[in-house]
Amino acid sequence: MTHTQPRTLIKDLATLPDGPVTVQGWVETVRDQKRVQFVILRDESGSAQLVNPVNEDTAETAATISGLMHGSFVTVRGDLKADERVKLGGLEVKVGELVVETVAKDSPIADDSSIDKRLDWRFLDLRRPEAQLIFRVQTTIEHAFRQHWIDEGFIEIHTPKLMATASESRAELFEVPYFETTAYLAQSPQLFKQMAQSAGFGRIFEIAPAFRADPSFTSRHATEFTSVDAEISWVESHEDVMAMHEQLLAKAVTAVIERHGEEIQQRFGIELQAPTLPFPRIPHAEVKRIVEEGGHTIERADGDLDPEAERRISAHVKETQGHDFVFVTEYPSTVRPFYHLRPEGREEVTNSYDLIYNGVEISTGAQREHRIERLREQALEKGMDVAELEEYLGFFEYGVPPHGGFGMGLARVVMLMLGLSSIRETTFLFRGPTRLHP
């Protein structure tokens, strides 16, 4: 077909006067009536109604339209006409010429297909408007994060994902052959974030992949995920980190509401509310008391919260304070890494927190220990080989300011914001213990 007009995105049709247009996209539905045919066409920006009157002059086009299957890719040249009676955007395109670029096959997935089946055919699954909205929301969240950080003078860094030693512990590590030696995929950028504090960067952030050789099959675990990380110098306690963290999330939720709130309500039935500041803060010991008084016993030997405890404390905060977020603070030193700072006179706890959102933990943050002697002591106490930490400990021999930061799972944030049941829905191509395709 020879185009007399460039292709127009469907979302831009409303800005054009009535007249000739060219659109391209996938066929969503075809409605054949005796005297007229209607086609819903969707591209990456939205959907529009095509109309084709059935008569002798349009017989060939009508036959083509009747044979169109869902998902066929077509190019249409026709006349745009505003019509307030049309529910879909108040406009329609009268078909002049229609070319079928690709004939779709019978779809291997349906609306009721299992998540695993849909992941097998992810490129088809992602054609759903709901799926596209998920990743538009994710884009808005990341943009809001970056804008806030840049406005606050942060530096973006890109840390290596191939490491000579473990980033946090030797558990859940992927080993990679590396020439004559072995490398490891980074579990987090933790050590490098702290190195940036020694380098005098002050405030840094990174949004990048992280890897965990975790055999979990839960709705919130993956072997490769996008980690959102930030670290800041000159903190007085973990309170400074929490203040930075909650401001960041409040900006992101507000941006999502402004850009996508109406469509989220339409497609997911969720009316997002901008969170008030500050977020509630409850010490870990108090959380345990509240949860246990509510009838749930945490059976983990180390005292860490289990998923049911997270759900219960989140529900408690929602009921008593009307908030979707809650910081659980002052975790026991027994369940925290060696580099979390322990306040003077309270060696049993740490200046740390978990952030829970709508019943699920999305982030761990803390003030870091910046004194090298204490780091060595706490590493030994955790049974770690200090010799393997010498490169990391070397950062602190040249002076590191009091600092802290957090790591947060992006897919979890999007999942919980949109009320979805699994990060498989909010990960472009999910990776888990049994999934390396597509």
Q: Tens digit of pLDDT for each residue in 24-73? A: 999 999 999 989 999 999 999 999 999 999 999 999 999 999 999 999 99
The pTM of the full predicted model, rounded to 2 decimals, is 0.93
What proportion of the chain, given as a percentage, has pLDDT over 70? Answer: 98
The third-level CATH classification (topology) of the domain covering 10-102 is OB fold (Dihydrolipoamide Acetyltransferase, E2P) (2.40.50)
Q: Is the pLDDT of residue 115 over 90?
A: yes
- pLDDT for the residue 108: 94
Q: Known binder of ligand: residue 136?
A: no
Q: How confident is the model at residue 167 (pLDDT cuts 50, 70, 90)?
A: low
pLDDT given at position 5: 75
Q: Is the pLDDT of residue 325 over 70?
A: yes
pLDDT at site 16: 95
pLDDT at 122 over 80: yes
Give the Cα separation of 304 and 391 in Å (integer): 30
Residue 212 counted as an annotated binding residue: yes
| pLDDT score, position 228 | 98
Name the pLDDT band for 1 (thresholds 50, 70, 90). very low
* Banded model confidence at residue 397, pLDDT cuts 50, 70, 90: very high
Q: Known binder of ligand: residue 168?
A: yes
The contacts found for 63-69 with CB under 8 angstroms, 24 or more apart, are 64/98, 64/100, 65/30, 65/32, 65/37, 65/39, 65/95, 65/98, 66/30, 66/32, 66/37, 68/27, 68/30, 68/39, 68/100, 69/27, 69/103, 69/104, 69/105, 69/106
Percent of the chain with pLDDT over 90: 89
CATH topology for the 119-417 domain: BirA Bifunctional Protein; domain 2 (3.30.930)
412 is annotated as contributing to ligand binding: yes
Query: Rounded mean pLDDT of 127-152?
Result: 97
pLDDT beyond 70 at 2: no
Q: What are the residue ranges of CATH 3.30.930.10 in the chain? A: 119-417
409 marked as binding residue: yes
Tell me what the pLDDT averaged over the chain comes to.
Answer: 95
Q: What pLDDT is recorded for position 168?
A: 63
Confidence class of residue 299 from pLDDT cuts 50, 70 and 90?
confident
Q: Is the peptide bond before 278 cis (omega within 30 degrees of 0)?
A: yes
Report the side by side order of strands in the sheet with 403-409: 155-156, 203-211, 224-233, 403-409, 360-367, 352-357, 325-329, 281-283
- Is 410 annotated as a binding-site member? yes
Distance CA 234, CA 388 (A): 27
pLDDT (tens digit, 9 = 90+) per residue, 401-419? 999 999 999 999 999 999 9
Locate CATH 2.40.50.140 in the chain: 10-102
pLDDT over 70 at 436, yes or no: yes
Residue 98, marked binder: no
